[in-house]
Amino acid sequence: MPPETAVAHDLDWWCEHFDHHDPELTAELVYDVYAHLREQRPIARSDQHGGFWILTRHEDVMAAAADWETFSSAEGAHLPRQPGQMLFVPLDYDPPQHTAYRDVFARALEPARVRALEPQIQQLAAGLVGDFAAAGGGDFVAEVAVHFPIRLIASMLGLSDAVSAQIREFTERIWAAFGHDARSTALGDLIDLLMAEALERRADPRPDLLTELVQADVGGRPFTDAELRSTLAAFAIAGHETTMNASANLMHDLAQRPHLQEQLRDDVPALRRAIDESLRVRAPAHLFVRTVTRDTEFRGVMMRQGEKVVLVYASANRDEAQCPHAAEFDPQRRMASSLTFGWGIHRCVGIHLARAELRVLAREMLARGPFELAGAVRCSGMEGGHHMGVRTLPLRFGSSQTRHQGADDDR
């Protein structure tokens, strides 16, 4: 945290002492810091958490993300690591373990399976948005964005209502402690809840994803309990956090542009572009960490074996060298190399599900629109050192909400 005598926007200070866990690194400040890093210190060195390198330019982040042999995830993608902190499957692994673990996720989230899920996604979105619109609006985050991905993941896994209702509460406790409070039991408590249901599936298999995970084969053998615990945590937390943030960001963008809402209502390709652009401008997950495996010179800078490197995907997406006027939301933009979902072997395995969720949810909102901002918008800081998003998004619907005729012709 900057000293009281430091000016909040002393960007040089922030570059030297960059700390992704600092509560003072607000949504208003963070992109100014990224821009300053890109322009003045594209390969910077922070003195926080034992010291680490920071990569913020698009070509640098992409190059490091693609080179897992030099920039490894095997010591964890989070910084700092607390004593005894678990490794998350497949995020915190390199090949060959990563390949085997990722295959489990890939089978669960393959495009054909996501397409088969779309009627369920549609029904869930229609119910939540229908109630929201019928009330004339409200806080989109609290009433829609939080519940939508959690209920979908819980339904896929086959979790009980009692367990799914607690996922967000535990996740908020996890982020509040992540990286600085080793005494927190929030993560273990959530996993214990999930494991209780997983163990039931061993005795009583059911036609759900949780049963598939319990019975999963990885490298020719069954999951161990430790691997299953890590996998369940990844599904429950990563499966909802980024989609929650992305959907709130998207509705924030659309609420400020009524003419764009009208255009997107009946133009599916344009809607897809607008979703991708919203994801680019404000990536739900800002950064992940790598460990240098051998002394290497990177862009003229010597990095030593064992040093930590932070890859700032959210900054790379706003690199003017790659994307002119990059800080602006341009729904007509086409950027093939957006790093919102990562790059290389760790590119988000849930990309097809996330895009389907955002597309269906957006079409349900647009079909009942127009909608607009109805009060002050509140954003989070960097939660868990990685995630940032809208936390309060008051919206209200205009008089044409009754025009809804369904949004089920995109399948």
Give tens-digit pLDDT for 258-288.
999 999 999 999 999 999 999 999 999 999 9
- Asked if pLDDT for residue 51 goes beyond 90, the answer is yes
Residue ranges of the domains in the chain?
11-403
Q: Which of 7-16, 222-231, 352-361 has the lowest mean pLDDT?
A: 7-16
Looking at residues 100-116, what average pLDDT do you find? 94
Query: What does the pLDDT read at residue 185?
Result: 84
- Burial (CB count within 10 angstroms: exposed 0-12, middle 13-18, buried 19+), residue 262: middle
- Burial (CB count within 10 angstroms: exposed 0-12, middle 13-18, buried 19+), residue 294: exposed
Looking at residues 100-128, what average pLDDT do you find? 95
At the topology level, CATH places domain 11-403 in Cytochrome p450 (1.10.630)
Looking at residues 318-346, what average pLDDT do you find? 92
Query: What does the pLDDT read at residue 404?
Result: 46
- The span from the CA of 58 to the CA of 39, in Å, is 12
Confidence of residue 179 (pLDDT cuts 50, 70, 90): low
- The span from the CA of 218 to the CA of 70, in Å, is 25
Summarised one tens digit per residue, pLDDT across range 239-261 is 888 999 999 999 999 999 999 99
Cβ count near 87 (within 10 Å): 19
- Burial (CB count within 10 angstroms: exposed 0-12, middle 13-18, buried 19+), residue 55: buried
**pLDDT, averaged across the chain:** 91
- The span from the CA of 180 to the CA of 117, in Å, is 38
Query: What does the pLDDT read at residue 405?
Result: 44
Confidence of residue 6 (pLDDT cuts 50, 70, 90): very low
- The span from the CA of 196 to the CA of 37, in Å, is 46
Type of residue numbered 259: H
Confidence of residue 106 (pLDDT cuts 50, 70, 90): very high
Q: Is 105 helix (H, G, I), strand (E, B) or coil?
A: helix
Query: What does the pLDDT read at residue 335?
Result: 78
Q: What percent of the chain has pLDDT over 90?
A: 75
Bond into 222 cis (ω within 30): no
- The span from the CA of 113 to the CA of 109, in Å, is 6
Q: What percent of the chain has pLDDT over 70?
A: 94
Summarised one tens digit per residue, pLDDT across range 162-173 is 888 888 888 888
Q: Give the closest residue to 78 by CA, choosing from 300, 244, 234.
A: 234
Looking at residues 131-151, what average pLDDT do you find? 96
Using the 8-state DSSP alphabet, how is residue 320 labeled? T
Say which residue, 364 or 333, is predicted with more confidence.
364
Confidence of residue 207 (pLDDT cuts 50, 70, 90): very high
Using the 8-state DSSP alphabet, how is residue 211 labeled? H
Looking at residues 170-188, what average pLDDT do you find? 76
Q: How far is CA 115 from the centre of its chain?
A: 21
DSSP conformation letters of 266-319: T-HHHHHHHHHHHHHHT-SB-EEEEEE-S-EEETTEEE-TT-EEEEEHHHHTT-
Query: What does the pLDDT read at residue 2?
Result: 58
Q: What are the φ and ψ backbone dihedral angles of 329, each rounded to 5 degrees?
A: -80, 110
Summarised one tens digit per residue, pLDDT across range 347-406 is 999 999 999 999 999 999 999 999 999 999 999 999 888 999 999 999 999 864 444 444
Structure tokens at 156: 């896929």
